[in-house]
Amino acid sequence: MEVLFDLQQELETLDLNSSDLIVPVGFHQPTLKINVVDDVKTILVKDRADRISGIGVDLKELPELRAGDRITITGRVPRETPPGSWGVALISEESEARRAEECQLAQQRSPKVLFSLSHILGGVDLDGLIMVQTTRWGAIEPVMNFFVDSIIISRGDGEISVKEDERELVYSLETDENLKARRTGAAFSTGVLYQAGSPEIMVLEKDGETRIYLNERAKEWDGLDINLKSLGILTGNKYQIVATGKVVGNAQRGSRITLQGIPGFSWRGSERMKLDGEFELTHTLSYAEVEQWTTVRITTNSIGASVPFYISGIEVKRLGLL
């Protein structure tokens, strides 16, 4: 492995007040300060006014980078941070859009409370920022200070080998042989589809179609998970996920049905729910998502947390090479 950039080597001479490479980001830019914590030289990100105030790496300043290189960022939150669902997100900037590539939620009381985030760079990343921010999803302290200990950009040995997936249809709800065989009352699982949270999930047959009905939802994560790793998807191949269904009953204004990638909890293919409205959610997986995402979740945002819905179709198709 070839190391192309190592923050620790740069910290000896890095001037954060004039750096074009390591920069504060957000509408209300935070203060960046070099500190020593636990005998490690680190960058303190403080005076954060909102979730997106953070630290960024402007990859345009590193012209030798290319698609397929990996960036890994490690750091910590202060010892006094309450234990629970705080989150730190690695965000890549695509034109004016930002999306979470990976988010690590911690449930620990470690005095150091470390996090580690990693992302394979795509071509669009090379002309923008890679940013570390906090996530609004379940965050106890979205404007907490945090430290960045290490930023390493590396390149693997040789070219990345890509094996072409010969399948066109990787998964279909209608051909899931384990769907009808699951035991009533048990936690929902078909080997590909899994229960997320604690909704009531029923398998219904109507008009010759199999439908999955999700009821008694209380939280926005009460939904259905698609286990991507069980499908044997291959890095370097392009896949599209399509989920169709219908919202049942009244949906409060602002409710959304969503596809979310895990890790990442990225809001994907969001569509505003309508009263008794049908939905179709579509998302094409990026290079990094194929490698890093383990699960795609069909659920809602927090406003629609209690809204029941049914899923009439799930298809994962292979579209070609990325």
For the chain, give every domain's residue range: 2-155, 169-321
Residue 172 has pLDDT above 90, yes or no: yes
Higher-confidence residue of 109 and 213: namely 213
Residue 1 has pLDDT above 90, yes or no: no
Residue 81 has pLDDT above 70, yes or no: no
Nearest to 162 by CA among 1, 4, 320: 320
Kindly report which listed range (148-162, 189-203, 259-273, 275-289) carries the lowest average pLDDT score.
Answer: 259-273
233: helix, strand or coil = coil
Task: Give the pair of three-digit tokens for residue 217.
Answer: 């939802």
Spatial contact of 176 and 190, defined as CB atoms under 8 Å apart: yes
* H or E element in which residue 43 lies: strand 40-46
Is 2-155's fold the same as 169-321's?
yes
169-321 CATH pick, 3.40.50.300, 1.10.287.370, 2.60.120.260, 2.40.110.10: 2.60.120.260
Spatial contact of 311 and 243, defined as CB atoms under 8 Å apart: yes
pLDDT level of residue 296 (50, 70, 90 thresholds): very high
Residue 103 has pLDDT above 80, yes or no: no
Kindly report which listed range (5-14, 145-154, 160-169, 180-189) carries the lowest average pLDDT score.
Answer: 180-189
Degrees (nearest 5) of the Cα angle 8, 133, 38?
Answer: 40
User: What pLDDT shows up at residue 136?
Assistant: 57
Task: Give the pair of three-digit tokens for residue 60.
Answer: 């345009």
Q: Which runs of E-coded beta strand occur in 64-192? A: 70-76, 86-94, 97-106, 114-120, 129-134, 146-155, 169-172
Q: What average pLDDT does the chain have? A: 81
Buried b (16+ CB within 10 A) or exposed e, 131-164: bbbbbebbbebbebbbbbbbbbbebeeeeeeeee
pLDDT level of residue 276 (50, 70, 90 thresholds): low
**0.75 exceeded by pTM:** no
Nearest to 91 by CA among 265, 270, 231: 265
Per-residue pLDDT of 20-49, as tens digits, reads 999 999 989 999 999 887 778 899 999 998
Mean pLDDT of 102-106: 42
Buried b (16+ CB within 10 A) or exposed e, 78-93: beebeeeebbbbbbbb
Spatial contact of 216 and 249, defined as CB atoms under 8 Å apart: no
2-155 has which fold? Jelly Rolls (2.60.120)
**How far apart are the C-alpha atoms of 168 and 237, rounded to whole Å?**
11
**How far apart are the C-alpha atoms of 320 and 224, rounded to whole Å?**
26
User: What pLDDT shows up at residue 264?
Assistant: 55
Task: Give the pair of three-digit tokens for residue 209.
Answer: 């179609």
**How far apart are the C-alpha atoms of 18 and 248, rounded to whole Å?**
55
Degrees (nearest 5) of the Cα angle 157, 158, 164?
Answer: 115
User: What pLDDT shows up at residue 163?
Assistant: 82
